[in-house]
Amino acid sequence: MNLEDLRYTKDHEWILVENQIGTVGITDHAQHQLGDVVFVELPKVGDSFNAGEAFGSVESVKAVSELYCPVSGQVIDVNEKLRETPEMINSEPYGGGWMIKIKLRNLQEQKNLLSASEYTALTQQEKE
């Protein structure tokens, strides 16, 4: 996956939109900050969310992080494998660690999200 093709939230989710379907996960920076993911709570297929609304949570030994939906839409698929192997969020944040697929309600919303370079700048800022 080319990270340039993704859009990002300030809360460290990424989304890849193809044919009105967005695949959502958390970034490598986010998984690194969180540490070993030991638990993930995800929505059900059919649930709807507005952009910025919490759709689930990821937990490491020390921390909990809410997951915020980058766009508005309806969940059409959930990565059920993460229930048993949440550590995939650490090892493959942009691959096997994807969380949900969502059917976008409004394609224009993507424009509010960060580009790869904007997101990188944001994480650099956080490090300083």
Partner 1 sequence: MGQDHALKQTPLNPIHRRTGARMVDFAGWDMPVQYESAVKEHLAVRTAAGLFDVSHMGEIEIRGPDALSLLQELTCNDVAALQIGQVQYSALMHPRGTFVDDTTVYRRGVDHYFLCVNASNQEKDFAWIWEHAQGRVTVENSSDCYAQLAVQGPEALSILQPLSSVPLEDIRRYWFIEGKFVDVACIISRTGYTGEDGFELYFPPEFAEKIWTAVLEAGKPRGLLPSGLAARNTLRLEAKMALYGNDIDETTTVLEADLGWIVKWHKGSFIGRDVLERQKREGVPRKLVGFEMVDRGIARDHHPVYLNDKPAGQVCSGSYAPFLEKSIGLLYLPWEHCTLGNEFSVDVRGKKLKARVVATPFYKRPK
Report which secondary-structure segment, H or E, holds 122: helix 116-127
Establish if 44 lies at the interface with partner 1 (CB under 8 A). Answer: no
Alpha-carbon gap, residue 93 to 82, rounded angstroms: 11
Is 39 a binding residue for partner 1 by CB under 8 A? The answer is: yes
CB atoms within 10 A of CB 111: 7
Torsion over CA of 30, 44, 115 and 125, rounded to 10 degrees? -30
Is 77 one of the binding residues for partner 1 (CB under 8 A)? no
Tell me which of 57, 91, 106, 115 binds partner 1, using CB under 8 A.
57
Q: Which of 1, 5, 10, 35 binds partner 1 (CB under 8 A)?
A: 35
Query: Of 62 and 111, which CB lies nearer to partner 1 in the complex structure?
Result: 62
Q: How far is the CB of 47 from partner 1 (least distance, A)?
A: 15
